[in-house]
């Protein structure tokens, strides 16, 4: 497994340290280095990477502000000389937090964590029919909740948060509806409104510009109406 990597840091010395560490790991392939978040953002719009080593204190746009703008994030490892931003980093879904000067063993431990997560994603994508695909979502600052994909009925937008509705519970997490919808299987889930993504196979009733799931009516947005009805009705006839 080869993971594509970029480094975003305004200190040339810090970039060189991480660059030299990357060259020691056969599973890592350095794709580029950037001295500011603006250049990194432009690169990520057109290129897919697996890991981003990201400094916090940078000109124009600091690392945490940059991280908060990303809807589809690679695995992000924060690299900084300051310890006080760790909590905020993890709230923004950073995988790890490395404090400079970064020792090689600590760097390797962080990379091993990403490799383990990446292998887990691949195992889930190749899972047999007997194994139910699932995800873990952060429902508070410390708790990770396991949710089975095929139990998700509706995902509702709450501005910067979403509510995931299943037959057994409702879970509120800090994520946008767009980014979470992108993580779901596109053949099973459908955006029907700026506020709703639904599981197509959970629709019980289609009436006018609304669907019913679990006894609750959800409005289909005008711009989504034709595509939503076509997808839902075609799925029911398969």
In this predicted model, what pLDDT tens digit does every residue of 40-89 receive, in sequence order? 999 999 999 999 999 999 988 899 999 999 888 899 999 999 888 888 88
Nearest to 52 by CA among 82, 73, 27: 73
Quote the strand ranges of 83-236, DSSP E: 96-99, 134-138, 144-148, 154-158, 161-166, 169-173, 189-193, 196-199, 205-207, 210-213, 216-219
**What does each C-alpha distance from 42 to 11, 107, 125 come to in angstroms?**
19, 26, 29
Give the mean pLDDT of 213-226.
Answer: 90
Phi-psi region of 214 (alpha: psi -120 to 50; beta: other; left: phi over 0): left
Q: Evaluate if residue 127 carries a pLDDT over 50.
A: no
The CATH class given to the 134-237 domain equals mainly beta
Find all residues with CB under 8 Å of 180, minimum gap 6, and list them: 155, 162, 164, 173, 197
User: Could you give the CA distance from residue 77 to residue 62 in angstroms, rounded to a whole number?
Assistant: 14
Backbone angles phi, psi at 103, to 5 degrees: -70, 150
The CATH number for 3-125, chosen from 3.40.50.2300, 1.10.760.10, 3.40.50.1000, 1.10.10.10, is 3.40.50.2300
Q: Would the pTM of this model clear 0.75, i.e. be above it?
A: no
User: Could you give the CA distance from residue 122 to residue 104 in angstroms, rounded to a whole number?
Assistant: 27
Helix or strand holding residue 181 (H, E): helix 177-183
Q: How do the domains of the chain map onto residue ranges?
A: 3-125, 134-237
Task: Say which residue, 232 or 235, is predicted with more confidence.
Answer: 232
The mean predicted confidence, pLDDT, of the chain is 87
pLDDT at 200: 92
> In DSSP terms, which residues pair with 156 in a beta bridge?
163, 196
In this predicted model, what pLDDT tens digit does every residue of 142-180 receive, in sequence order? 677 888 899 999 999 998 899 999 988 888 888 899 989
In this predicted model, what pLDDT tens digit does every residue of 89-99 receive, in sequence order? 888 888 889 99
Preceding omega of 101 cis (within 30 degrees of 0): yes
């Amino acid at each position: 497994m080869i993971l594509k990597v970029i480094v975003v840091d305004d200190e040339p010395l810090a970039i060189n340290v991480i660059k030299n560490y990357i060259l020691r790991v056969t599973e890592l392939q350095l794709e580029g280095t950037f001295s500011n978040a603006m250049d990194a953002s432009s690169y990520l719009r057109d290129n897919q990477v697996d890991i981003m080593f990201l400094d916090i204190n940078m000109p124009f746009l600091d690392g945490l502000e940059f991280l908060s703008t990303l809807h589809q994030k690679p695995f992000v490892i924060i690299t900084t000389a300051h310890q006080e931003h760790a909590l905020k980093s993890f709230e923004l879904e950073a995988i790890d937090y490395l404090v400079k000067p970064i020792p090689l063993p600590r760097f390797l431990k962080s990379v091993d964590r990403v490799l383990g997560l990446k292998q887990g994603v691949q195992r889930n994508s190749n899972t047999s029919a007997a194994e139910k695909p699932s995800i873990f979502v952060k429902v508070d600052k410390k708790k990770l909740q396991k949710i089975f994909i095929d139990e998700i009925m509706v995902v509702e937008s709450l501005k910067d948060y979403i509510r995931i509705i299943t037959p057994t519970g409702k879970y509120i997490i800090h994520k946008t509806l767009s980014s979470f919808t992108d993580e779901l299987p596109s053949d099973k889930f459908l955006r029907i409104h700026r506020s709703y993504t639904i599981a197509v196979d959970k629709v019980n009733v289609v009436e006018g510009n609304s669907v019913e799931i679990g006894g609750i009516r959800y409005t289909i947005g005008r711009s989504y109406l034709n595509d939503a009805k076509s997808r839902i009705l075609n799925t029911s006839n398969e």
